[in-house]
């Protein structure tokens, strides 16, 4: 367009010279009009210009560790269902002790069960049984078997207390676990794993008080081409948009962030921001990457992508209050609920909270984030490859990609965190304390993966967790070189929303145990950074990062749905080019 207008201007000028002064006035007016239009176009072009920035990071990792010894919970589930089929295929009445597949010493006789299932006369019935198993009906069926077990042990089911039943259930589970066999601890050694991450930032001024920002990213391991991995009992092994920024997958460019800010509303220091939120990499997680603050909420409790809104108010240049809303699960759109009884449709899972920068200066930063998740579900919509059917425990026929959708609302969940960070000369430091509390619905609900910090078929109760996270960094050579050390420890029932945390093994801030991390960063040039880092995890309890299932002490062998790290270590060397 600009070239065309310039051509027209040149032609008009030539025409003016050619026809003489008779038409000079008209031609001059025309030229002025064209110049004005050209200036308007140039102004419009500058306003709509998108500013691009970003970085590309290439890293090499060495990962070692050891899993905890355990009993395979899914194998226990399979044996329980198979024993149930045997029991009801042989029982002559309720609580029939003679129909139990048990040896005189109380152990499970798996030979009886397997032979019964292998009998050609029972094959069709067995397949029908597996196809019709309803998770909600399993406790009732198990109750009859436990009653038979009580009779076999000389107990009177009619006079047994709740504690007696709980003890008997635990005894039955352990008998089945022992029948499946103890899986010993195993060494983990991935001698080399390469990753490449690309991030593209877009910024634009829409109008005087309205701006736009977005980030597109790609993050993948070398030699891998799929975002969907095999489920290992943690949210990082599922593919859903909340964890994309920090979990390597495929080579597609995804939208991490996309939002606009409407500033200076009504001439006041307040703003409204809507869209896909800048909610990953929040303080104090940016220190170890030698980056500026990357997210609004504290990364100690929220490090995940979500869609939502923020309304902020600045009290001067050092204090800001932000009210934040987010939606984690839309229960109706896309979930086939048309025509269903709405009483049977799940509620949306959302959260609301406050993020307060109480004091923000280069020398001291004090921040708190407080949030409540409402109607939290047993996960979010996503894709996964399940190794086993969680209801029957049967192995899946192959690596089938499955769309996972939540099945229940579990209740509400509270989170709070406080950060104090400072800079004294060349020394940076921070201290955080975080708290969490589950609030199960009444009556509490459960799933094949368990309920709020409980195993399947158990009743969830309120649980409180805590996590402490400290760090310090020393800056050398005019801030070109930085050496840091960080430590964090989470309690048995600690849980946060950090599936997007960029730690590869597992988000370090959701660890139920202790994590140490040391690193050195060096700016070869102002925007070209090399980083050497070592991180080590020592897990005390199972299920870190997952709000389903009972966290269990890993010092002793436990029934676990999936193998879990007891210790893990990662040595990384990487280069980041920022532009």
Q: What is the mean pLDDT of the chain?
A: 91
CB burial of residue 163 (10 Å; 0-12, 13-18, 19+): exposed
For residue 10, pLDDT beyond 80: no
Which helix (DSSP H) or strand (DSSP E) does residue 577 occupy?
strand 565-578
Contact 468, 433 (CB under 8 A): yes
C-alpha angle 471/474/480, rounded to 5°? 125
Helix/strand/coil for 364: strand
Whole-number pLDDT of residue 415? 98
CB burial of residue 470 (10 Å; 0-12, 13-18, 19+): middle
Summarize pLDDT for 147-196 with one digit per residue, the tens.
999 999 899 999 999 899 989 988 999 999 999 999 999 999 999 999 99
Q: What is the pTM of this model?
A: 0.88
Contact 572, 63 (CB under 8 A): no
Lowest average pLDDT, out of 3-17, 79-93, 258-272, 484-498, goes to 3-17
Is the Cα dihedral 330, 334, 337, 339 positive or negative?
Answer: positive
Helix/strand/coil for 139: helix
Summarize pLDDT for 35-50 with one digit per residue, the tens.
777 776 665 665 558 9
Averaged pLDDT for residues 189-207: 97
Query: Which residues are within 8 A (CB) of 303 and not within 5 positions of it... i.e. 6 or more apart?
Result: 246, 279, 280, 281, 282, 285, 295, 496, 497, 498, 499, 500, 501, 507, 509
For residue 338, pLDDT beyond 60: yes
Taking the C-alpha atoms of residue 367 and residue 261, their distance in angstroms, rounded to an integer, is 21
Lowest average pLDDT, out of 163-177, 349-363, 484-498, goes to 163-177
Query: Which residues are within 8 A (CB) of 74 and not within 5 positions of it... i.e. 6 or more apart?
Result: 387, 388, 390, 393, 561, 562
Summarize pLDDT for 413-443 with one digit per residue, the tens.
999 999 999 999 999 999 999 999 999 999 8
Averaged pLDDT for residues 481-501: 97
What are the Cα distances from residue 93, in Å, to 89, 99, 145, 156? 11, 9, 11, 16
Q: How confident is the model at residue 536 (pLDDT cuts 50, 70, 90)?
A: very high
Taking the C-alpha atoms of residue 386 and residue 403, their distance in angstroms, rounded to an integer, is 10
Return contacts of 39-43, CB within 8 angstroms, 24+ apart. Answer: 41/1, 41/2, 41/5, 42/2
Averaged pLDDT for residues 226-251: 90
Record the tokens describing residue 524, joined without a space.
């070869």
For residue 5, pLDDT beyond 50: no
For residue 567, pLDDT beyond 80: yes
């Amino acid at each position: 367009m600009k070239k065309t207008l310039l051509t027209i201007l040149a032609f008009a000028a030539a025409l003016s010279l050619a026809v003489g002064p008779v038409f000079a006035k008209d031609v001059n007016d025309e030229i002025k009009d064209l110049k004005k239009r050209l200036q308007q176009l140039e102004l419009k072009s500058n306003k709509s210009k998108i500013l691009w920035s970003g970085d590309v990071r290439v890293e090499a990792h060495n990962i070692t560790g050891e899993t905890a010894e355990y009993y395979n919970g899914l194998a226990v589930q399979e044996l329980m269902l198979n024993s149930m089929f045997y029991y009801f295929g042989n029982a002559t009445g309720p609580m029939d002790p003679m129909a139990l597949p048990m040896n005189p010493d109380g152990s499970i006789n798996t030979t009886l069960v397997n032979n019964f299932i292998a009998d050609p006369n029972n094959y069709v019935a067995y397949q029908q049984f597996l196809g019709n198993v309803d998770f909600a009906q399993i406790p009732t069926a198990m109750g009859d078997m436990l009653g038979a077990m009580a009779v076999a042990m000389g107990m009177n089911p009619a006079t047994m207390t709740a504690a007696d039943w709980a003890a008997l259930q635990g005894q039955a589970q352990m008998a089945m676990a022992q029948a499946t066999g103890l899986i010993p601890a195993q060494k983990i050694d991935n001698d080399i794993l390469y990753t490449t991450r690309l991030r593209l930032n877009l910024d634009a001024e829409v109008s005087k008080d309205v701006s736009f920002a977005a980030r597109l990213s790609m993050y993948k391991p070398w030699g891998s081409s799929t975002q969907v991995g095999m489920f290992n009992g943690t949210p990082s092994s599922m593919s859903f948009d909340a964890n994309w920024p920090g979990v390597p997958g495929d080579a597609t460019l995804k939208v991490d962030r996309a939002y606009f800010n409407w500033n200076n509303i009504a001439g006041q220091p307040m703003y409204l921001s809507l869209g896909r939120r800048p909610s990953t990499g929040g303080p104090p997680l940016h220190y170890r990457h030698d980056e500026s603050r990357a997210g609004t909420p504290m990364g100690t409790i929220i490090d995940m992508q979500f869609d939502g809104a923020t309304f902020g108010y600045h009290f001067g240049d050092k204090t800001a209050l932000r009210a934040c809303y987010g939606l984690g699960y839309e229960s109706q759109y896309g979930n086939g609920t048309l025509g269903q009884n709405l009483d049977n449709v799940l509620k949306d899972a959302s959260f609301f909270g406050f993020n307060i920068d109480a004091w923000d200066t280069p020398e001291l930063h004090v921040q708190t984030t407080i949030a409540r998740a409402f109607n939290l579900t047993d996960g979010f919509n996503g894709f996964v490859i399940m190794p086993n059917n969680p209801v029957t425990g049967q192995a899946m026929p192959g690596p089938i990609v499955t769309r996972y959708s939540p099945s229940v609302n579990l209740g509400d969940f509270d989170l709070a965190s406080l950060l104090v960070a400072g800079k004294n000369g060349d020394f940076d430091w921070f201290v955080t304390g975080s708290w969490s509390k589950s609030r199960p619905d009444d009556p509490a609900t459960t799933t094949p993966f368990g309920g709020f910090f409980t195993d399947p078929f158990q009743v969830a109760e309120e649980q409180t967790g805590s996590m402490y996270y400290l760090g310090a960094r020393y800056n050398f050579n005019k801030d070109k070189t930085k050496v840091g050390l960080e430590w964090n420890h989470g309690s048995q029932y600690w849980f946060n929303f950090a599936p997007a945390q960029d730690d590869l093994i597992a988000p370090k801030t959701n660890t139920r145990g202790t994590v140490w991390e040391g690193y050195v960063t060096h700016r070869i040039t102002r925007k070209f950074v090399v980083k050497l880092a070592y991180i080590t995890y020592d897990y005390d309890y199972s299920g870190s990062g997952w709000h389903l299932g009972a966290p269990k002490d890993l010092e002793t062998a436990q029934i676990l749905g999936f193998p879990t790290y007891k210790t893990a270590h990662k040595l990384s060397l990487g280069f980041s080019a920022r532009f």
